[in-house]
Amino acid sequence: MKKLRTLFLTTAIILGISATTIATTQVTASANHVSNTQNKYANVANYARRSVGTRYVWGGTTPRGFDCSGFVQYVFRMAAGKNLPRTAQQQSLVVRPINVRDAKAGDLLFWGSRGRSYHVAISLGNGNFINAVNPRVGVNINHMGAPTFAGRLN
């Protein structure tokens, strides 16, 4: 009987340790995925800052000149390898909507309704964003204006 109890306790301990290891590994892997995603999009924000001062060109998609959605499309492709649609309207449909107050660096900010957005910018966090504004201003950093909604890419 004592051998059976010892065998049972040993098995229970081994299974308990194994289950804890598996659960810890799964939680760690999940946390690493979230962390990597946040880091990737924080890198997007940092990459975007390099373009401050670039001129605005209607329909522009290169460092020779950007419009708002061309700027967002270019930055995400270069900094994160993420291919986004061309227009703000189309870009607003590929994000998961989030509250503007919850926007982190690398999230997108939109003006207008989802699917009918007329302007897009990249959140830099702390209430700041970067965007291609108009021919007079070009690409610059602003403090949070009044975006209609924000979106996060997966």
Q: Which residues are catalytic?
A: 68, 119, 131
Is the separation of the CB atoms in 78 and 51 below 8 Å? no
Tell me if residue 143 falls in helix, strand or coil.
strand
Provide the Cα torsion 136, 137, 138, 144; round to 10°.
-150
By C-alpha distance, which of 89, 75, 88, 87 is closest to 124? 75
Is the separation of the CB atoms in 40 and 80 below 8 Å? yes
Q: How many Cβ atoms sit within 10 Å of the Cβ of residue 59?
A: 10
> For residue 56, what is the DSSP state?
B
